[in-house]
Structure formats: structure tokens, C-alpha cells
Amino acid sequence: MIQRVAREIRAGMTVNLGIGLPTRVIDYVDHELPVCLHSENGIAGVGPSIGYDEADRNLIDAGGTYVSTQPGTAFFDSAVSFALVRGGRLDLTVLGAFEVAMNGDLANWIIPGLFTPGVGGGMELAQKARRVVIMMNHCDKKGCSKIVRECSLPLTASACVDRIYTELAVIDILAEGLVLREIAEGTTLEQVLAATEAPLQVPENELPTF
Amino acid sequence: MPATVVDIESAIAEISDGASVMIGGFGVPGTPFCLLDELLRQGQKGLTLIKNDANENGMGVDHLLLNGQVDKLIASHIGLNSTAIDMMNRGQLEVELCPQGILAERIRNAGAGLFGFLTDIGIDTILAENKPRFEIDGRELLLEQPLRADFALLHAAKADSYGNLTYAAAAQNFNPLMAMAAEHVIAETEFLTQTGALSPEVIHTPAPFVDRLVYLAKLTGDYNVIRR
């Protein structure tokens, strides 16, 4: 799945990768590709992550990972950092999710009573990145679909998600609803449909695998 | 008016019980741990803290929380500090959570002498509850209020004795914004040079925003790389 998500990243893009699994997407992007990684704590042009012995104590990304600089790196304050996001300069963000609804609503920041850390920069990213893609498990730990008709958890942003990547499938969110685009190798269409609570349109042509 | 270079004890002694205090930093970089440790030692109570995060357990803000010095915390993300989350859930700490860029902009807005701004960030979420709404050109927007404080505690990499500050790498974050938004600005610095020794072109926070400078002859372990 990570390798497939990495193909979202194209030359010249400014990209923010969410905390956790999305951060690892960059490891699967060709190093020669000119991509500008943005981090909420005030970095454009984030360089590769770095071991503790070489780390600069003042240089972490928003997830707390020690990172490096590279030719073209810039540092700035938090207001500039979010001007970049709200101002429409972020081409793509890759985020995790608890739930995604068929209209693109995203819930990924709070589970009332259980998980209440605060939203960080999640709302700005989800609402203002030009393209929002989600990478997540298709179902939660109890086996319930995370692709739902309507989110039960408080929203991060409404109607913001463009595409969902899971271990089973690639699904686009269009005005007419969810459309299945690709299917994981070794997965059947029936498995994908059974794991998806929301209605899923399946094109008539043969689906590519990833 | 240039800043005054003072010792850490007298710098922090100006903070009284019940004060609102902005604290720079995003994680470790830019957090003024020495100023926070002195605030812990002096023990001012009833504080309202404004900081992006609540640091991690065992450092910075965490000490102040455990010592019962904090009534209210305004932050964007406190997920790395279980003390803050537990105290919030038990009703021992009032927590106001803001989207990160909105927190930054509320501080910048106050610092720029403005009286709020309109935004669509969070408009369809629970964070929009109780925020006044305005319609501009057919678009519904939320009013965000400016955020000022009595004090700002900052961490600079370098300062000149005039009060000009520069920050290292990702330690900039909220520091330059908070420098503009508090009545009384106290900056700790790792290097202190004579006035004029810093190039005017590299200054992040100009001296007129800074009231007190504290030179740190030695850093504590909190500033080090965290090996998880």
C-alpha cells in the first residue's frame, strides 16, 4: 500500500505527510524526484530522517522525528507554515483516518472519552490541501468498515477526501459517490465489497491491481 | 527601548500568580526549559499557559502541571503528555484546544494589534461551537479572537545585548509570534553577543519586542536529542 501511495507524489509537488504511516511514504519516492516536503513546525524541503548520533537537537519534523536539511530547505515560523497550507500552496497531503464517509467527510482526530490529544494541524491540512488522500486499514480492529455512509466520530473536515488507499483497494470519492479504482493483488471484489459499509460503484472494465 | 540582560531569577520573579504566559516551542526545539524550570522553582500559581503542546512527560510544562501551578492551558496538541490529558479528563485543568495554524494566527493577530479574523477552518466541526459566525459575500465564516498574554517566554539560539533574536532550525515555530503578543517578553539565549555583532539581515525577532534577556551559560539535559 505504501508503495502505491508513493505514486501520488509527482515532480514539483509541495507535500505534507501526516504523522505515522504516511510519513514513511517518502521512503518509496525516487530520491531524484524534485519534491518539497512541508512540515507543520516550520520546514519546507524536509530532508531524510537521521539517526540520534547525527541528529540536530533543533531539527525535528511535526511528528518528532529527527530530520535533516537538503539543498533548498527553508525554516519559518508557525504562522508562515499555515499560510502556506491555507493559502493553497500545498499540492497534496497524505493522512490517516478513523472513518471516511462516502461524501468525503473525514474523522481522524478525536474519539470522545478515549483519544483526545487535540487536532494539531489536521483541520487545516484536510480542509486546504489541494488534494487529500487517506491511507488506512480498510476495517478497524473489531472488523467494522472505516469507509462509512456517515461518520459517527466528530469530523476533522467535511467533504475533503479525494482518494482512499487501504490494504484492499484504491477508492476515489467523486460527486457521484465512491468509485473503486484498483484492487490489491490476491484480493477479490467480493472481499472489498463486504468490507465496505458505504455503497461502492464498480466500473465494468477489469480493475488494475497493486 | 533595548532589552535588559538580567539573571534568570529576577526575570521570572516579575511573573505573578494568575498571569497568562505564552511559551515558545514545538516539542523540544524552541522550548525555554530553563525559564520553565525557574518558574517551577519560584512556584507562581493559577497560571494560564499558551503553548503549541504540553511537552512530553518529565519535562518543561509537565513539571508545572504536576506542581499544580496551571489552571488553564491553550494548545493545539497535548497527545505526548499524559499528565495534561489525565488532568483535563479529571477536570483539574481547563484545556482549550485550537487548530495549530489558528492558534498561531490568533497570537500573530494580537501581536499585530488587530482584533480578530474570519476563517473557514474547522467550520463544520465541534471546534466551531460557540464561535460567532459572519457571512461575507455569501460565505459563512468563523470569528477567531486574538490571543494576548501578560508574559512570553522564548528560547533563542543567539541574541545581541540590544535584544535582537535569532532562532535555530525548527526552533523558530511559535517564538517570533509570541514575541509580538505579550506585554512583557523574556527570552533565554544560548549565545549572547555585543550589540551589532548579529547581521541585521538575519534577525528573526527585532529588539523592540524583547524586554528581558537571560543568558544561559549551560543548557540542561532537556534540550538534548531525545533517544526514544
* Residue spans per domain, chain B: 4-218
From the list B30, B104, B176, which residue is nearest A82 (CB)? B104
8 Å CB contact of A127 and B120: yes
H/E stretch holding A99 reads strand A99-101
Residues within 8 A of A (CB atoms), B 42-61 only: 52
Asked if A78 and A100 count as a contact pair (C-beta separation under 8 A), the reply is no
Nearest-CA residue of chain B relative to A114? B89
Tens digit of pLDDT at every position of chain A (210 positions): 999 999 999 999 999 999 888 999 998 998 889 999 999 999 999 999 999 999 999 999 999 999 999 999 999 999 999 999 999 999 999 999 999 999 999 999 999 989 999 999 999 999 999 999 999 999 999 999 999 999 999 999 999 999 999 999 999 999 999 999 999 999 999 999 999 999 999 999 889 999
For A90-178, where are the alpha helices, taking DSSP H only?
A: 122-128
- Chain A nearest CA to B228, separation (Å): 9
Question: Which amino acid, B128?
Answer: A
Contact criterion met (CB < 8 Å) for A60 and B170: yes
Domain ranges in chain A are: 2-201
CA B154 to CA B32: how far, in whole Å? 6
Hey, are the CB atoms on A77 and B227 less than 8 Å from each other? no
Q: How far apart are CA B24 and CA B80, in angstroms?
A: 17
d(CA A71, CA A137): 35
Taking only the tens place, the pLDDT of each residue in B147-186 is 999 999 999 999 999 999 999 999 999 999 999 999 999 9
CB atoms within 10 A of CB A105: 22
The whole-angstrom separation of Cα A76 and Cα A70 is 15
> Would you tell me the crossing angle of helices B100-111 and A78-86 to the nearest 10 degrees?
120
Give the span between the Cα atoms of A114 and A109, in whole angstroms.
Answer: 11
**Which among A42, A110, A116 has the least Cβ separation from residue B170?**
A42
The three cell numbers locating residue A173? 470519492
Contacts of A52 in chain B (CB under 8 A): 225, 227
Q: Which candidate in B52, B77, B180 is best for mutational testing of the A interface (most A CBs within 10 A)?
A: B77
What's the pLDDT at A20? Answer: 85
Class of the CATH-defined domain A2-201: alpha beta
**Sorting pLDDT into bands at 50, 70 and 90, what band is B2?**
confident
Taking chain B, what is the end-to-end CA distance rounded to the nearest angstrom?
44
Query: What percent of chain B clears pLDDT 70, i.e. is strictly above it?
Result: 100
3-state secondary structure of A190: helix
What is the number of CB-based contacts under 8 A between chain A and chain B?
140
Q: How does B194-211 read in b/e, with b if 16+ C-beta sit within 10 Å?
A: eeeebeeeebbbebebbb
For residue A28, what are the CA distances in angstroms to A34, A97, A186, B62?
14, 21, 22, 37
Q: What is the CATH number of domain B4-218?
A: 3.40.1080.10
Strand-pair category, B212-215 with B149-160: unpaired
Would you tell me which residues 155-184 of chain B have a C-beta closer than 8 angstroms to some C-beta of chain A? Answer: 157, 168-177
Given A60, A76, A82, which is nearest B29 (Cβ)?
A60
> Measured between CA atoms, how close is B14 to chain A, in angstroms?
27
Question: What value does the mean pLDDT take over residues B76-104?
Answer: 96
